[in-house]
Homo-oligomer: A and B are copies of this chain.
Amino acid sequence: MSFYDATVPAFLQILGSLSGLLTKAEAHCKARSIAPEVMLSARLFPDMLPLAKQIQLACDFAGKSCARLTHSEVVSTPDTEKTFEELKARLAKTVDYIKMFKPAQFEGKDAGDVTFPVGPSNTLTLKGQQFVNNYAFPNFYFHAATAHGILRHNGVEIGKRDFLGVN
């Protein structure tokens, strides 16, 4: 199988499932008269990033990783979303963006160099496959699973099957 097959479907699966999690979270808020902004700003600890930012970061680690792997322009994505609807639109936009990449663009890129920023002033260069293993996937899944954890902790009736996108 191709390097495209090893990366793109993994991102798309979880981006889709995150949209489903937000749909359930929004319904949960409506049913219990919880202000959406309360849920979107929920955190697992005071110095941790809130739910909305976890979703935005999952989008960025998926979309920008595809751009970096294929040596495409890394488009800036300001974090302006303030509602469930806007976050779901961000997810949908990220899915559309990732779907624009063609398998041919990933060919040989597993062994090619990827240079990416780490922190405000440094860059790191890894081979494409290492970039996916060591950086893109763990960061992407981290923010996605943390979003699930925040919602779970706040009583939204979801579980791992929702995270996997099989519910």
- The interface of chain A, by Cβ under 8 A from chain B, is 1, 5-6, 9-10, 13-14, 44-45, 48, 110-111, 127-130, 132-135, 137-139, 141-142, 144-146, 148-150, 152-153, 155, 160, 163-164
Contacts and interface: CB of A to CB of B under 8 A. Distances in A.
A144 to B, nearest CB: 8
A141 to B, nearest CB: 3
Contacts of A134: 9-10, 13, 164
Name which of A13, A135, A139, A145 has the most chain B CB atoms within 10 A of its CB: A145
Given A138-B141, A138-B164, A45 B155 contact: yes
Contacts of A160: 139, 142
Contacts of A153: 44-45, 149, 153
A149 B155 contact: no
A135 B139 CA distance: 17
Contacts of A138: 10, 13-14, 141, 163-164
B129 A6 contact: yes
A130 B45 contact: no
Contacts of A146: 145, 148-149
Nearest to A129: B1
24 contacts: A1-B127, A1-B129, A5-B110, A6-B6, A6-B129, A9-B130, A9-B133, A9-B134, A10-B134, A10-B137, A44-B44, A44-B149, A44-B152, A45-B152, A45-B155, A137-B137, A138-B163, A141-B141, A142-B160, A142-B163, A145-B146, A145-B149, A146-B149, A149-B150
